[in-house]
Structure 1
Amino acid sequence: MMIKGLYEAHLPVSDLKASIAFYEKLELTLAHENERVAFLWIEKGKSWLGLWKVDINDFPYHPSTRHVAFQITTSSIEQIKAWLVEKGIGVHPMFGFSEEEQPLVLDNPPQFHAAIYFLDPDGNLLECIAPLELDTEEDYDIMTYEDWDRKKNPYID
C-alpha cells in the first residue's frame, strides 16, 4: 500500500504562542515557527500538527475543519483522563456524556474505539482515541468505557 498514515493535520488558532504552549503540554515538540504558522511534531518524522494564526471568529467550529484525533494505545485509555487533568486540561462533554463519564466507546460498527475529548485554547475539538475491536460482529450503542469494560469482563469488579 502506498499510503502509510496521516502525516499532518492543521488547526486555526488565535494566539500562536499560547497554542504552542498548550500543545507542548500534550508533549508535542515544536518543529518550526514563524509569525503565521507553527508545526509541532506528534511523532518526529511521522506526523505533525500545523497551527495557523487567524481571526478565529472567521472559522466557526465544525468537526470537518476544527477537529484532530490523536491515536493512543489501547492500554493507556484508562490513564488518559488523569494524564490530561494532571496537565491542567479539562475533559469536554460529548454526545450527551459528561466529563466524568469519559472515556467513551464510540459506536461505529464493525469498529469500536475508546475516546476522550478536550478543547484547545481556541475551542478546537481534540480527541485521544484507541482501537478496541475491529471488524467485529457485535453491535453496541455508544457507552462509557467503564460500561464497555463491565460488558467485556463481567466477573471483574
Structure 2
Amino acid sequence: MIKGLYEAHLPVSNICKSIEFYRGLGLDLAIKYEKAAFFWIVKNESWLGLWECEQAQITYHPSIRHIAFRVDLGDLKNAKTWLEKCGIEMREEFGFKPLEPIVMPDQTHAMVYFHDPDGNSLEFICKLSSEPEDKPKMYLSDWEKYLNNKN
C-alpha cells in the first residue's frame, strides 16, 4: 500500500526568506502561493511544503518541526563544509559538537543537524552499509575506526 513519503510541511515566519534558504539547499521551487511554497525534494516523488504562519514560533520538539533529507555518505562527509559555504552552521545534537556526522550504531545511520531561519530542525541522513550494533552514538570517524578494527 504505502510506497514512500510524498510530502512533509513546516511552519515559517517569512515565506520569501524561507524560499531563498531552501533554494540555497538546492531544492527546486515547484509552486509558490501568497503564504505557502512547495519544493521538490525528488521531482514528482516528494516535496516539502512551507507555510507562513504564527505557528512558526511554537516550541521545537523532535516530533514536530523536523525534516530529514536523505543524502549519500560522500555528501554527508562533506556536509559541514558545504553548509558553511551556504552560510549555515551545523548544530550540536545528542551532546555531540557539530564537528562531523554522528552515527547511531543501533540504526546504522549517520547524520548532521542544522536549522532553517525559523529554527525548524533539518537533518542530512544516510543509511550505512554495516549491520546494526548495540553501541553508543559516536562520530562517523570513530565508527569507521571501530569497523576497521573489528575486521
Provide the TM-score with structure 2 as the length reference.
0.92
Q: Partner of 1:63: helix, strand, or coil?
A: coil
Q: Identify the residue that residue 77 of structure 1 maps to in structure 2.
A: 76
Q: Identify the residue that residue 12 of structure 2 maps to in structure 1.
A: 13
Between the aligned partners of 1:29 and 1:92, the Cα distance in structure 2 is 24
* Bigger fraction of residues in helix: 2
Q: Which runs of 4+ in 1 moved over 3 A?
A: none
Between the aligned partners of 2:132 and 2:41, the Cα distance in structure 1 is 33
Show structure 1 runs of 5+ residues with no match: none
Show structure 2 runs of 5+ residues with no match: none
1:37 aligns with 2:36: yes
Q: Partner of 1:20: helix, strand, or coil?
A: helix
Cα deviations by residue, 1:18-65 (Å, 9 ceiling, x for unpaired): 0010000000011111112100111110111000001123x2211211
Provide the TM-score with structure 1 as the length reference.
0.88
Q: How does 1:4-153 map to 2 (within 5 A)?
A: 4-55=3-54, 56-57=56-57, 59-100=58-99, 102-107=100-105, 109=106, 111-133=107-129, 136=131, 138-153=133-148
Please give the root-mean-square deviation of Cα atoms over the aligned residues, in Å: 1.6
1:103 is aligned with what amino acid?
P
Q: Partner of 2:26: helix, strand, or coil?
A: coil
Between the aligned partners of 1:154 and 1:80, the Cα distance in structure 2 is 26
Say how many residue pairs are matched.
149
**Percent identity over paired residues:** 48
Shift, 1:138, TM fit: 2.4
Between the aligned partners of 1:29 and 1:76, the Cα distance in structure 2 is 19
Shift, 1:4, TM fit: 1.7
Q: Partner of 1:31: helix, strand, or coil?
A: strand
Cα deviations by residue, 1:96-149 (Å, 9 ceiling, x for unpaired): 01112x310024x2x210000000000000000000146x35211100111111
Change (3 A) 1:86 1:154: farther
